[in-house]
Amino acid sequence: MTASRLTGRRVTGGPVGAGSPAEVTLEDGTTVMVKHGDGPGAVRAEAAGLRWLGAARAVRVPEVLGHDEWSLVSERVPTGAADPGAATRFGRALAALHAAGAPAFGAAPPDGPVEAYIGRAPMRNVRGDDWPSWYAEHRVLPYLRSAVDAGTVRLGEAGVIEAVCERLPALAGPAEPPARLHGDLWQGNVLWGADGEVRVIDPAAHGGHRETDLAMLRLFGCPHLEQVLDGYEETSPLADGWRDRVGAHQLFPLLVHAVLFGRGYAEQALSAARATLAG
């Protein structure tokens, strides 16, 4: 079995849960999660991302216990209720994670592939020195093109998103160094631990702008988000006007979701683009 092969320990129970990930119990009583990748390089990218995030000793991540090209075994995190105090601590830890930095915008984690994934969508980790041009070229426009090709974004609608990309140098706020991003920080990837501490899972880790992680938390809803933001700003205040830039940072995840899940997310991306241009 996969868990036994990758950990060197005999499986005595499970799997619990259909599909991937699934819970498996090992001979020492440890319960682990076994996940199968969505495509070539996906597991390698996830394992490298978890290790890179964990190396910052800021936001906690499940320990990677073993992986190969197609499967990953990691520590299982017992979960509990979302808590305001844990949210504040998570905000502080997220600020410290971002401050750990990255070599460049688009930099992959050490040992991580250039051809990575965000969820089930391919994502290329191509380096750039300038955030607005890198974000437009490698995070917004590739997914816009895919959405237009699929008919999810109509050809006549694409111009509003392209206009945001053209105006990003003026819209992006003060220049910041590359942050160490989780990269897919929606609420489903935030685990509220039974021990009162937050862990994050399923990263699409890369070097990026720290406001992108925060915008994704807001986009899909995060319990006690204002406490998260309070803890973040206590540790690393955000540049003035950051709330006005949320829509621009949300274009990337919204277009990824448009490619994966259809028209509803395309309409949200178009609304975010129009609001950003309206200022």
Which residues are marked as active site? 184
Q: Strands, DSSP E only, in 113-232?
A: 115-118, 121-124, 179-181, 190-192, 198-200, 206-208
50 within 8 A of 165, measured Cβ to Cβ: no
Q: Which two tokens stand for residue 204?
A: 């699409």
Q: Which two tokens stand for residue 67?
A: 């992986």
Cα(266)–Cα(262) distance, integer angstroms: 7
Q: Strands, DSSP E only, in the chain?
A: 11-16, 22-26, 31-36, 64-67, 71-75, 115-118, 121-124, 179-181, 190-192, 198-200, 206-208
Cα(51)–Cα(61) distance, integer angstroms: 8
- 3-state DSSP assignment of residue 79: strand
Cα(112)–Cα(58) distance, integer angstroms: 20
Burial (CB < 10 A; 0-12, 13-18, 19+), residue 279, is: exposed
Cα(41)–Cα(6) distance, integer angstroms: 17
144 within 8 A of 161, measured Cβ to Cβ: yes
**Entry field: residues in the chain:** 279
Q: Which two tokens stand for residue 39?
A: 């495509």
Q: Which H or E element spans position 51?
A: helix 42-55
